Every structure is written in C-alpha cells, then in structure tokens.
C-alpha cells in the first residue's frame, strides 16, 4: 500500500466519521487544530483504520498521532 | 415450546432535573463540552431519601398496569441493579411486596448496564420453561450514590431512574415476541469499569470502554438479529444502552440503522445503567415512536465487562 493509498483511505474514514470533507484531509492537517476531531473520534478513526488497513493503533499510540501524516506513517510502518 | 412476549413497559424518572449548567457550577466543565462528548443536555437525580427500591416500585407499577395483568398473575420479579444502597435485603422481594405481588420468586441481578437485557433473557427462559407464568423485570439505578460528584469525567454522565417490563407467554399460534438472547462477557477487561470497595466511587477507563463499545457491540446486536430471523433493515426501533450518544450513533452507523429509528433518551436522562433501555422504550412509546407488532432491537453493555442483546416485538 502506498502512502497515497493510505491517505485517501484515511480521508474516506474521516469523512464518514467526523463529516470532514475528504479534500481537507491533507498530510499536514492537525486532527485537533485543523480538522476539529476530538479524542473520541480519534478512537473511532483508529478502529475504522484497523478494519481498513489491518493495522491496530492502540490507545497508547493514538495520543502521539497528531497529524494525518503521523497516521499515514504509522500505518505504513506497521502494515 | 411456548413463545414469550413483552406485555407492558413503564418508566420512572426522579423529579430533580440537573442541567449541564448546574454541573458547571460544581466542577470545571461546560454545556458545550458535555453535549459534544456524551450528548447529554440534562439528567435526573434522585432525592437523598429516594431508594433503588422506590424507583423500581414506581416503574414496576406502570409496567404492571400497562400489561393488564393482576399482581397475582406474576410469579417472578427480577430487579437488575448495580447501585443498591446495601447488598441485603435484595430489592426484588421488597418491590414485589409493595406492588401486592403475593410471594413470587424474587432476585436481584447484577450485570451492570447490561442488566435489563440479561433480565429479559432470564424472564423469557423462565416462562418458556414453565418456572413462571409471567415475570416482572425492572432495571433500577441510583448511580449518583456511587459517583464522585466532584469527578467531572463521571458526574456528567451517570444519573438515576428506573424502567420495567412484564414478560409473559404468547397466545396459541402467535409468533414469539422475544428472540433468543445473545449474551456474553469479557472478564479479562473487568478493571475498565469499577467501584473499588465499599467506600469507593465509580471509575472507568473512558477511552478504552469507548473503543470496546464501538467495536465489540455491533456484532452482538447483529447476531441477535440473525438469531431472531430479522435483519437490521427490519428493525423499527433500535434501543441500545444509553451510555453515550457518540457510542449509540457509532453502533447504529455500523448496523446501518437510520438515526430516526434510534433511541436517544440519554439526551434528557443521562446514563442510568440497567434502567436506560426500558426508560428509553417508555419514552419512545410516549412519543409515538414505537410501532406495536414490529421488531425492536435491544443491546446493552457495561461493567464486567458484560453485554446482552435480543430482538423484541413492540407491545
């Protein structure tokens, strides 16, 4: 899976869960500051990402994933 | 084997309304944050002298009246609760006596927030097995007596109330109105929601519980549908435990059930643990949101961790 594929998959997830338009989900976007996504939505996104990419993102890791690129890197590294 | 059905439901909420603004005067929180995180706008707190049994009696009386049965026709009373003032005597026998039910089997059941669906499962099985003609199942909770009202992570969520249902046999040739219960537990995660000892207060690992509830519960509800021979698209009312509106919406989304069919009683009731499902059912009935004779899906989950789900036919 390329980073671009992960990014577009992640954008679909975020649009479904948080209602954020997929085109706003850019690599540099910060979940809290730019996308207005809170910790509970992050958990939902992590669960959906696990279903989609087969990569588990534990709660302990989740708080360190601040930007979209952080999640893309995490999925890429662990898939 | 005979079938079973819900004959009547009833709910009771204490008089005292507590708004988010009221709580923001006690702890560092605010209305917007609470609405966004848990979806609650107001909840009810019991009076200091109002007990789990008092609330159970009020809800039980309504369900009994709605069922059209005489008290003497009830052979078993089950009270689901995890918040009694003391472990003895049990609530069920006291409530049965107050309701004029003569000498029924009476026991309390603790499956925490999952208790009501456990109770309906046990009641249905008792009727089918011939152990009881009719069963009164009550969920009653005074969560506020076990919550630290200075802990802003829990005091905004938990509240008090009761709800009840009467379970009885179906008529000849009538299809069963209570599907098989799908229940289970995850005791390896027991430490995620606890009251630590006699003087302890309720504590939960909110994020972990949220993850579990939004992951593990939809498949349980789907299995309950499968066992009852229906699909989520047949469900006219989805009544999950009113834990947190975000959890409710996440589970509904996974099941593909439209929002207008989903109970959202938590908005004005808070999380009343085992009382939340029958309370929500009662509210939906009052609002004309239930269609008698159609399938409703119940699913409950909470401390234990424990969970249970079944499809019922709306009375």
User: How far is it, in rounded angstroms, from Cα B125 to Cα B22?
Assistant: 44
User: How far is it, in rounded angstroms, from Cα B283 to Cα B262?
Assistant: 12
Which of B243, B250, B259 is the best mutation test for A, with the most CBs of A within 10 A?
Answer: B250
User: How far is it, in rounded angstroms, from Cα B151 to Cα B260?
Assistant: 33
Which of B211, B246, B259 is the best mutation test for A, with the most CBs of A within 10 A?
Answer: B211
- CB-based contact (8 Å) between B250 and chain A? yes
- CATH superfamily of the A3-78 domain: ACP-like (1.10.1200.10)
User: How far is it, in rounded angstroms, from Cα B95 to Cα B60?
Assistant: 8
Closest residue in chain A to residue B216, using alpha carbons only = A47
pLDDT of residue A76: 92
> Looking at this predicted complex, what is its ipTM?
0.81
* pTM attached to this predicted model: 0.93
Q: Would you say residue A27 has pLDDT above 80?
A: yes
Residue B60's contacts (CB-CB under 8 Å, 6 or more residues apart) are: B10, B77, B95, B99, B136, B138, B162, B164
Q: Give the active site residues of B.
A: 113, 241, 271
Q: Is the Cβ pair A43, B37 closer than 8 Å?
A: no
Find the chain A residues whose C-beta atoms sit closer than 8 A to any C-beta of B: 16, 38-40, 43-44, 46-47, 59
Q: Give the active site residues of A.
A: 38
Residue ranges per domain, chain A?
A: 3-78
Residue A63 pLDDT class (50, 70, 90 cuts): confident
pLDDT tens-digit profile, chain B (315 residues): 789 999 999 999 999 999 999 999 999 999 999 998 899 999 999 999 999 999 999 999 999 999 999 999 999 999 999 999 999 999 999 999 999 999 999 999 999 999 999 999 999 999 999 999 999 999 999 999 999 999 999 999 999 999 999 999 999 899 999 999 999 999 999 999 999 988 999 999 999 999 999 999 999 999 999 999 999 999 999 999 999 999 999 999 999 999 999 999 999 999 999 999 999 999 999 999 999 999 999 999 999 999 999 999 999
User: How far is it, in rounded angstroms, from Cα B143 to Cα B241?
Assistant: 15
Q: Which domains does chain B have, with CATH numbers?
A: 4-169 (3.40.47.10), 182-313 (3.40.47.10)
Q: B110 near B83, Cβ under 8 Å? A: no
Count of CA atoms in the C-beta half-sphere (13 A) of B135: 29
pLDDT of residue B23: 95
Q: Is the Cβ pair B210, A43 closer than 8 Å?
A: yes
């Amino acid at each position: 899976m390329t980073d671009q594929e992960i990014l577009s998959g992640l954008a679909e997830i975020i649009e479904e869960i948080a209602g954020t338009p997929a085109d706003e989900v850019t690599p540099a976007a910060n979940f809290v500051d730019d996308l207005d996504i809170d910790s509970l939505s992050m958990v939902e996104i992590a669960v959906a990402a696990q279903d989609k990419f087969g990569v588990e993102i534990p709660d302990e890791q989740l708080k360190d994933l601040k930007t979209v690129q952080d999640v893309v890197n995490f999925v890429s590294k662990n898939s | 084997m005979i079938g079973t059905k819900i004959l009547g439901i009833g709910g009771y909420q204490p008089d005292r309304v507590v708004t988010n603004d009221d709580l923001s005067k006690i702890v560092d929180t605010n209305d917007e944050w609470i609405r966004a995180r848990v979806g609650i706008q107001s909840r009810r707190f019991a009076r200091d002298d109002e007990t789990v049994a008092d609330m159970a009696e009020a809800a039980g009386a309504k369900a009994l009246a709605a069922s059209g049965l005489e008290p003497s026709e009830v052979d078993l009373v089950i009270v689901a609760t995890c918040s009694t003032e003391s472990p003895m005597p049990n609530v069920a026998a006291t409530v049965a006596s107050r309701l004029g039910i003569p000498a029924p089997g009476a026991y309390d059941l603790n499956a925490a927030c999952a208790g009501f669906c456990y109770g309906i499962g046990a009641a249905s099985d008792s009727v089918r097995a011939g152990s009881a003609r009719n069963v009164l199942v009550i969920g009653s909770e005074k969560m506020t007596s076990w919550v630290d009202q200075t802990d802003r992570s829990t005091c905004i969520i938990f509240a008090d109330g009761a709800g009840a249902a009467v379970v009885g046999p179906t008529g000849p040739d009538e299809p069963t109105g209570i599907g098989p219960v799908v229940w289970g537990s995850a005791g390896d995660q027991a430490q995620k929601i606890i009251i630590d000892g006699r003087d302890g207060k309720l504590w939960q690992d909110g994020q972990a519980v949220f993850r579990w509830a939004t992951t593990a519960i939809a498949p349980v509800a789907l299995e309950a549908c499968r066992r009852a021979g229906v699909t989520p698209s047949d469900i006219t009312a989805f009544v999950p435990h009113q834990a947190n509106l975000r959890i409710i919406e996440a589970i509904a989304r996974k099941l593909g059930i439209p929002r207008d069919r989903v109970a959202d009683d938590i908005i004005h009731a808070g999380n009343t643990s085992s009382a939340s499902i029958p309370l929500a059912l009662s509210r939906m009935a009052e609002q004309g949101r239930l269609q008698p004779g159609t399938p409703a899906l119940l699913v409950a989950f909470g401390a234990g961790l424990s969970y249970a789900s079944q499809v019922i036919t709306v009375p």
